[in-house]
Structure 1
């Protein structure tokens, strides 16, 4: 949540920024501060504190405090993973895997279920699904393409800026685009999505909170991962994005009911036939 507050600073009013600054300076103390005390320490009025909470998507101070407490409880260690060149390999492995586990738990705890439900409904009723992503996000898009393809849905993944620009120009209006980007600020990606949205194509963004992609998307699913992908190869954000797309694919599969299960069974039967090898000839 702290990363979300920092990312949304430009959207806040000057008074709301005072509340944000106070929260960022002493987040662990907020849970024990009544709204009057919080307002006094931030040098703002109590209604300003409530407006700040609502700006972040909470009904009031109580919901904000609960979400902040959960976020701090699942707080991740510093990025990238704190490994050292001279430490034993088992320590390095433990740090890398432990941080990956913590990232997935953090992503689960921060997930917006209403937005997730809305995204699944849009995907289940789409005539076609298209996935846009660059670099590591392109690999995530290709993985998701395989999952939706196995569900029998028309789907394509575009990792080249020219190709997704063409896609955005000609995709039918009942297409749903899933755009994947940790930073959410690739100009080529945003340009294509603006073209698609001008044609009333629904865009689902999988990105960090407060990014340009999050603001542009019709439905934004946040992966709030503290990872500097300007310097480091994406690892944690990639895992979070894969997990979110797995949830979307499973949700769409469940919507397909008996027909979807029968389709998956046929696919499994075809693949099993290709895996079964004849018994080797007997040797005398």
Structure 2
């Protein structure tokens, strides 16, 4: 929550920035403050406090305080949790698994249920889905393609910038683009999103709060997973993004009526037949 507020602060209104500054300076005090007390300390109105909470992806003040408390309880990343060259493999495994568990816990606490509901509604209605991403986010886009095509939905993942731009320009008002980016600032991805929107398509973005991609998206799903990706490929953000794709696919399957099982059983049966032939 604090990372999200820090990243979104420049794009907030001036009155909301005053609230953000207090939260960043005194997060523990804010957890115990009433909406009237926070409004008084920031010299703003109580409706402004509520608007601030909604601006950062919370449903209201109580939801904001709950998420902030959960964030503080999880604690910041500790220097001793960093992977070191002299660590035994078992220690490396423990540190990386703990990092993934922490990322999923934060994701559970920070996802906006209203935004999830809106994204699933868009996916339920669409006739075509394009998945966009580059690098590690491109892997997530490919995973989304693998998940959604099982629903009988026409879906393609595009991880080449030129092909992606052409596909976005052709997507049209019946289509949806699922754009994945940890930073939300990749120029080529933003161009593809702009092309999709210009053609009437809707865009669901899995990205960081306060990013240009989040600002463009029809439905932004904010995932703030700060990590140092300079020596290694992004890990915690990838785990969180994959989890969001799973949530969207399962919820869309249920909304589309795929719980009857037929579209899911056919590919499973085909794979089972292949396995039986190989074993024979």
Structure 1 residues 31 and 265: alpha-carbon distance in aligned structure 2, compared to 1, 3 A threshold? same
Structure 1 residues 80 and 199: alpha-carbon distance in aligned structure 2, compared to 1, 3 A threshold? farther
What's the CA shift for 1:59? 6.1
The answer to whether 1:148 aligns with 2:148 is: yes
What is the alpha-carbon distance in structure 2 between the residues aligned to residue 279 and residue 214 of structure 1?
Answer: 48
What's the CA shift for 1:192? 1.3
What's the CA shift for 1:261? 0.9
Report SS of the residue matched to 2:261. helix
What's the CA shift for 1:52? 3.3
Report SS of the residue matched to 1:173. coil
Question: Once the two structures are superposed, what CA deviation does each residue of 1:208-246 show, in whole Å capped at 9, x if it has no partner?
Answer: 111111110000111111124456421111111111001
The answer to whether 1:249 aligns with 2:253 is: no
The equivalent of 1:9 in structure 2 is 9
Is the contact made by 2:170 and 2:199 (CA closer than 8 Å) also made in structure 1? no
The answer to whether 1:235 aligns with 2:235 is: yes
CA RMSD of aligned residues (A): 2.4
The equivalent of 2:211 in structure 1 is 211
What's the CA shift for 1:199? 1.4
Which structure has the larger Rg?
1
The equivalent of 2:197 in structure 1 is 197
The equivalent of 2:99 in structure 1 is 99
Larger CA deviation: 19-28 vs 228-237? 228-237
What is the alpha-carbon distance in structure 1 between the residues aligned to residue 279 and residue 90 of structure 2?
Answer: 42
What's the CA shift for 1:109? 1.6
What is the alpha-carbon distance in structure 2 between the residues aligned to residue 139 and residue 101 of structure 1?
Answer: 20
The equivalent of 1:269 in structure 2 is 269
Is the contact made by 2:132 and 2:179 (CA closer than 8 Å) also made in structure 1? yes
What is the alpha-carbon distance in structure 1 between the residues aligned to residue 49 and residue 121 of structure 2?
Answer: 34
What's the CA shift for 1:149? 1.4
Give the TM-score normalised by the residue count of structure 1: 0.88
Structure 1 residues 273 and 212: alpha-carbon distance in aligned structure 2, compared to 1, 3 A threshold? same
What is the alpha-carbon distance in structure 1 between the residues aligned to residue 249 and residue 50 of structure 2?
Answer: 37
Structure 1 residues 79 and 187: alpha-carbon distance in aligned structure 2, compared to 1, 3 A threshold? farther
Larger CA deviation: 74-83 vs 200-209? 74-83
Structure 1 residues 104 and 6: alpha-carbon distance in aligned structure 2, compared to 1, 3 A threshold? same
Give the TM-score normalised by the residue count of structure 2: 0.90
Report SS of the residue matched to 2:87. coil
What is the alpha-carbon distance in structure 1 between the residues aligned to residue 168 and residue 111 of structure 2?
Answer: 28
Larger CA deviation: 108-117 vs 46-55? 46-55
What is the alpha-carbon distance in structure 1 between the residues aligned to residue 123 and residue 25 of structure 2?
Answer: 40
Is the contact made by 1:79 and 1:227 (CA closer than 8 Å) also made in structure 2? no
Is the contact made by 1:39 and 1:49 (CA closer than 8 Å) also made in structure 2? yes
What's the CA shift for 1:40? 5.4
Structure 1 residues 275 and 269: alpha-carbon distance in aligned structure 2, compared to 1, 3 A threshold? same
Stretches of structure 1 lacking an aligned partner (at least 5 in a row): none
Larger CA deviation: 126-135 vs 16-25? 16-25
Larger CA deviation: 5-14 vs 78-87? 78-87
> Would you say how many aligned residue pairs link Structure 1 and Structure 2?
279
Stretches of structure 2 lacking an aligned partner (at least 5 in a row): none
Runs of 4+ in 1 over 6 A off after TM superposition: none
The equivalent of 1:85 in structure 2 is 85
Is the contact made by 1:131 and 1:179 (CA closer than 8 Å) also made in structure 2? yes
Is the contact made by 1:80 and 1:227 (CA closer than 8 Å) also made in structure 2? no
Structure 1 residues 164 and 37: alpha-carbon distance in aligned structure 2, compared to 1, 3 A threshold? same
Structure 1 residues 75 and 224: alpha-carbon distance in aligned structure 2, compared to 1, 3 A threshold? farther
